[in-house]
Amino acid sequence: MARVRRFLLLLLVVVLVLFAMLFTLNNQEPVVLDLLFYQTPSLSVALWLVLALILGAILGAAAASLTVARSRMARRRTEKQLKRSEKSLKRQQRDAAKSIE
């Protein structure tokens, strides 16, 4: 099963590389981006799109890591609250047992 999975992954990578090569070859026209007060150097459409993809991946990973960090902090707070509640419950049970005796 591991061999099949590895083969399928390799096949997927090869197909993606071929598509990327075709995309790059078909989008060689130089383009200048006008960003209000700045004009970028003339680069191919494919390169601009790849740069945008990389920037998007970095920003997406940063946003996801912030969400994960918030979730971890919330989990820690909840675990601390649970420990305090368990201690309080044990104390109340112990006090109730003493009052019965």
Q: What is the pTM of this model?
A: 0.61
Single-letter code of the amino acid located at 101 = E
Three-state DSSP string of 4-34: HHHHHHHHHHHHHHHHHHHHHHHCCCEECCE
pLDDT tens digits, one per residue of 55-84 = 999 999 999 999 999 999 999 999 999 999
Look at the block and give the residue holding tokens 């200048």. 32
Tell me how long the chain is: 101
Q: Where are the domains of the chain?
A: 2-100
pLDDT tens digits, one per residue of 29-38 = 999 989 899 9
CA terminus-to-terminus distance, the chain: 64
Mapping DSSP to helix (H, G, I), strand (E, B) and coil, where does residue 52 land? helix
pLDDT of residue 20 exceeding 90: no
